[in-house]
Structure 1
Amino acid sequence: MPFSVRFWSLLSSLALILASGGIPVSAQQSAALRALPADDSDSDTSLDVPTAKRELSAGWKTQTQARALSLIIPAPRGQIVDRNGIPLAQTRVAQYLALSYPFLGKDATDTEIVSFAHERILKANRLLGKNWNITGDKLLNHYKNRRWLPLVFSLNDGINEEISEEQQALLKPLTQPGSGLLLQAAYLRFYPKGASAPHMLGYVGKSRPLPVTPAQDGDPIFEETEGKSGLEQSFDRDLQGTPGMVSVLFDADGGKIDEQTVRRPKPGNNVVTTLDYHMQSYAETALAKHTKGGAMVVMDVRTGDVLAMASYPLYDPNMWVPGITSENFRALNEDKRTPLYARAFQGEYPPASTFKIIVSLAALETGKITAKSAYDCSTALRIGDRVFHNHTKNPEGYMNVVSAIKRSCNTWFYQAGLAVGADPITDMAQRFGFGERTGIPVGGETAGFVPTNTWMIERLGHRMQGGDIANLSIGQGRTLVTPLQTAQSMAAVADGVNMPRARLVSQVQDPNDRVLQAFPPQVARQVNLQPAAREAVIKGMVAVCNSPGGTGRAAALDKKYNCQVAGKTGTAQWKPNEERNLAWFTGFLPANDPIYAYAIVYEGQPYESVSGGGKAAPIVKEVFTKVYDNAPPDDPLILLSQAEEAAKAIPVSEEDEEIEGSGGMGNDGEAVTPINEAEPVDEGEKRGIGGFFRKLFGR
Structure 2
Amino acid sequence: MNPANRTSRLRLIVLQALVFSLFATLGVRLWYVQVAHGSSYRAQAASQSVREVVQQPTRGLIVDDMGRPLVSNRTSWVVSIDKTTLGNLSDADQGTLLARVAKVTGQKVSAVKKTLSTWNGSAYQPVPIAEDVKQQVALQILEQPEDYPGVVADQQTVRSYPQPYGVNAAGILGYLSPITSQEYDQAKKDKDHSLNATSEVGRAGVEKEYDRWLRGMPGSTSVTVDSLGRELGDSSAVAAQPGDTLVTSIDAKVQAAAEQDLHQAITTARATYDPVTHKNYVADSGAMVVMEAKTGRVVAMASEPTYDPEEWVGGISQKQLDALYSKQADNPLLSRATQGQFAPGSTWKPFMTTGAITAGLPTDQHFTCGPGLQIGNRYFKNYESESYGSITFAEALNVSCDTFFYQVGLHFWNKYGSDPANANAKDPLATAAKSFGFGKPTGIDIPGEASGRVGDRQWKASYFKAMKGYYCTMDEKGTATTPFLKLFAHEFCLQGNYFRQGDAANFTIGQGDTMVTPLQLARAYSALANGGTLYQPTIGKAIVAPDGTVLKKIQPKVVRHVAVSKKAIDYVNTALLGTMVPHSGFNGTLAWKFGGFPLGEIHLRGKTGSAEVEGKQSTSWVATYDKNYVVIMVVTQAGTGSGTSGPAVRKVWESLYGVQGDETGTQTVDTAKAAIPGVTPPKALPTFAQDGSILPPAKQRKGTRK
SS in 1 for 2:133: coil
Aligned-pair CA distance for 1:568: 0.2
Shift of 1:247: 1.8
Displacement after TM superposition at 1:405 (Å): 0.7
Distance 1:252 1:103, change over 3 A: farther
Residue 78 of structure 1 aligns to a residue in which SS? coil
**Deviations for 1:183-234, whole angstroms, at most 9, x for unmatched residues?**
133332223328722122211111158xxxxxxxx99999421112222222
Distance 2:74 2:498 in 1: 60
Which amino acid letter does the alignment assign opposite residue 635 of structure 1? G
Conserved in 1, the CA contact under 8 Å of 2:398 and 2:589?
yes
Matching residue of 1:631? 674
- How far the C-alpha of 1:299 sits from its partner, in A, is 0.8
Find the counterpart in structure 2 of residue 655 from structure 1.
Answer: none
* Equivalent of residue 397 in structure 1, options 389, 396, 401: 389
SS of corresponding position for 1:185? strand
Query: CA contact under 8 A between 1:148 and 1:250: conserved in structure 2?
Result: no
- Give the aligned residue type for 2:621: W
Q: In the alignment, which residue of structure 2 is the partner of 1:588?
A: 625
Q: 1:137 to 1:618 in 2, by over 3 A?
A: closer
User: Is contact 2:456-2:507 (8 Å) kept?
Assistant: no
Q: CA deviation at 1:375?
A: 1.6
Matched, 1:556 2:594: yes
Whether 1:613 and 2:629 are equivalent positions in the alignment is no
Cα distance in structure 2, aligned partners of 1:516 and 1:97? 36
Counterpart for residue 110 of structure 1: 91
1:226 corresponds to which of 198, 201, 205: 201
2:500 to 465, 470, 486: 465
Partner residue in 2 for 1:323: 315
Aligned match of 2:346: 353
Contact 1:247 1:260 in 2 (8 A): yes
The answer to whether 1:452 aligns with 2:456 is yes
Residue 651 of structure 2: which of 608, 611, 622 is its match?
A: 622
Q: Is the 8 A contact 2:141 2:151 kept in 1?
A: no
State which of 406, 412, 425 in structure 2 corresponds to 1:420: 412
Alignment of 1:297 onto 2:289: yes
Matched with 1:201 is 173
Distance (whole Å) between structure 2 residues aligned to residue 356 and residue 147 of structure 1: 63
Q: Deviations over 1:436-463 (max 9, x none)?
A: 1110122211111113334445646866
TM-score of the pair, normalised by structure 2: 0.70
Q: How big is each residue's C-alpha offset from its partner over 1:465-518, in whole Å with a ceiling of 9 and x where there is no partner? A: 221111011111111111101000101111123122212212222112222222
Q: How does 1:356-371 map to 2 (within 5 A)?
A: 356-368=349-361, 370-371=362-363
Residue aligning to 1:93: 75
Check 1:151–1:304 CA distance in 2 against 1; reply closer, same or farther (3 A cut).
closer
Q: Offset of 1:167 from its aligned partner?
A: 3.9
Partner of 1:17: none
Distance 1:177 1:237, change over 3 A: farther
Deviation at 1:105, TM superposition (A): 11
- Kindly state the Cα deviation for residue 377 of structure 1 after the two structures are TM-superposed: 1.1
Q: 1:620 to 1:248 in 2, by over 3 A?
A: same
- Superposition pairs of residues 250-289 of structure 1, within 5 angstroms: 258-289=233-264
Q: Distance in 1 between matches of 2:502 and 2:448?
A: 33
**SS across alignment from 1:69:** strand
- 2:145 aligned with 1:163, yes or no? no
Return the alpha-carbon distance in structure 2 between the equivalents of residues 408 and 568 of structure 1.
Answer: 8
Give the distance between the partners of 2:176 and 2:86, measured in 1 at CA.
38
Cα contact 1:571–1:581 (8 A) shared by 2: yes
CA distance in 1, matches of 2:136, 2:112: 30
Shift of 1:614: 0.5
- Shift of the alpha carbon at 1:366? 2.2
When residues 445 and 638 of structure 1 are mapped into structure 2, their CA distance, relative to the original with a 3 A threshold, is closer
Match of 2:19 in 1: none
Local SS of the residue matching 1:330: helix
| Partner secondary structure for residue 346 of structure 1 | coil
Change (3 A) 1:84 1:384: same
Q: State how far apart, in whole Å, the 1-side matches of 2:402 and 2:137 are.
A: 66
Aligned residues of 2:194 and 2:215 also touching (Cα < 8 A): no
Structure 1 residues 69 and 557 mapped into 2: Cα distance closer, same or farther (>3 Å)? Answer: farther
Between the aligned partners of 1:524 and 1:567, the Cα distance in structure 2 is: 24
Instruction: Evaluate the alpha carbon distance shift between residue 176 and residue 507 of structure 1 in structure 2; reply closer, same or farther with a 3 A threshold.
Output: farther
| 1:303 shift after superposition | 0.9
Cα offsets for 1:562-596 (capped at 9, x unmatched) = 2132100000112x22x32101111202xxxx000
Paired AA for residue 333 in structure 2: L
1:488 aligns with 2:523: yes
For residues 114 and 366 of structure 2, what CA distance do their matches in structure 1 show?
Answer: 81
Measure, in 2, the Cα distance between the counterparts of 1:359 and 1:259: 71
| Match of residue 75, structure 1, among 49, 54, 57 | 57
Once the two structures are TM-superposed, the CA of residue 93 in structure 1 deviates from its matched residue by: 2.6
Q: Cα distance 1:83–1:401, how it changes in 2: closer, same or farther (>3 A)?
A: same
Letter of the 1:239 partner, please give it: L
Alignment of 1:187 onto 2:157: yes
Identity between Structure 1 and Structure 2 (%) = 29
The 5 A counterparts of 1:16-95 are 68-95=50-77
* Structure-2 residue corresponding to 1:510: 545
CA distance in 2, matches of 1:531, 1:265: 55
TM-score, L = length of structure 1: 0.70
Q: CA deviation at 1:294?
A: 0.5
1:121 aligns with 2:101: yes
Q: What letter corresponds to residue 449 of structure 2 in structure 1?
A: E
Q: Per-residue deviation at 1:611? A: 0.4
Distance 1:366 1:261 in 2: 73
**SS of the residue aligned with 2:314?**
coil
Q: Which string of whole-angstrom CA distances, capped at 9 and with x for unpartnered residues, describes residues 325-366 of structure 1? A: 000101110143221111111111111111110111122222
CA contact (8 A) 1:99 1:181 kept: yes
CA contact (8 A) 1:99 1:150 kept: yes
* Distance in 2 separating the partners of 1:363 and 1:141: 66
| 1:525 to 2:564 alignment | no
* AA in 1 matched with 2:299: L
Gaps of 5+ in 1: 1-62, 154-159, 210-217, 640-699
Is the contact between residue 350 and residue 481 of structure 1 (CA under 8 Å) also seen in structure 2?
Answer: yes
Give the letter aligned to residue 204 of structure 1. L
CA distance in 2, matches of 1:142, 1:570: 52
1:625-668 deviations in Å (ceiling 9; x for gaps): 122234268514599xxxxxxxxxxxxxxxxxxxxxxxxxxxxx
Give the distance between the partners of 1:146 and 1:295, measured in 2 at CA: 44
* CA apart distance, 1:310: 1.2
Match status 1:133 vs 2:114:
no
Aligned to 2:143: 173
| Cα distance change on mapping 1:626 and 1:167 into 2, 3 Å | farther
**Larger Rg over CA atoms:** 2
Q: Is the 8 A contact 2:253 2:675 kept in 1?
A: no
Q: Assess if the C-alpha contact under 8 Å between 2:288 and 2:631 holds in 1.
A: yes
Within 1, Cα distance between the matches of 2:95 and 2:386? 84
Give deviations 1:381-402, integer Å, cap 9, x for gaps: 1112221111358532221111
Following the alignment from structure 1 to structure 2, what is the Cα–Cα distance between the partners of residues 148 and 177?
21
1:24-61 superposed Cα distances (whole Å, 9 cap, x missing partner): xxxxxxxxxxxxxxxxxxxxxxxxxxxxxxxxxxxxxx
Q: 1:221 to 1:180 in 2, by over 3 A?
A: farther
Give unpaired runs (5+ residues) of structure 2: 1-44, 182-192, 267-283, 418-426, 465-494, 659-672, 683-706
